[in-house]
Amino acid sequence: MKRMYVAALCIAMLLACFAASAQQSASTGANEAVAILELGAEPARSLSGGGWSLSPTVAAEVTPIENWLELEFGVTPTFSHHSTEWDTDLLFKKPWTLSKKVEFMFGVGPEWIHVRENGISTNAVAGEIALDFMFWPSSARKFGWYIEPAYDYTFGRRHDQAVGVSFGLLISIR
């Protein structure tokens, strides 16, 4: 039951971000993206003795305040032989446009981690810091690619720490 409330809250936050971004885009009249979809993979390494993992990742990014704030809501599932982990994060990012084709963002935010291991489920809250590099091959910015190194610190009992680098495809939603 608790998971349904968390999922509903996350969906509501994401929809509110999309609505705010769409309203801003409509008011400026610009042909800007309403959101940017990130599809990729994330190799990660636990610094607390866990080892390496490779996971798919998906995220949506919106811009509520142009040149000042971008919000990224992402999900990364990790599957192994006896466990499944779902990492859900909300990053608050400060963007910088380095050129017409390159952007950089510094992001920080909370992360919710749900682990099911050997039939036992646990939940934890974590913090994440990320550096996001976005590359757009054309000035239309419809498709691009990204690379995002990140550090996670879990505030749970074990105080896990991890580093990872997600990378993949950017799709502009207009």
pLDDT at 78: 93
Q: What's residue 62's pLDDT?
A: 97
> Rounded to whole angstroms, how far apart are CA atoms 50 and 48?
6
- Give pLDDT, residue 28: 46
Regions of the chain short of the pLDDT cut 50? 1, 4-6, 8, 21, 24-29
Q: Which domains does the chain show, CATH number per domain? A: 2-173 (2.40.160.20)
Task: Record the pTM.
Answer: 0.81
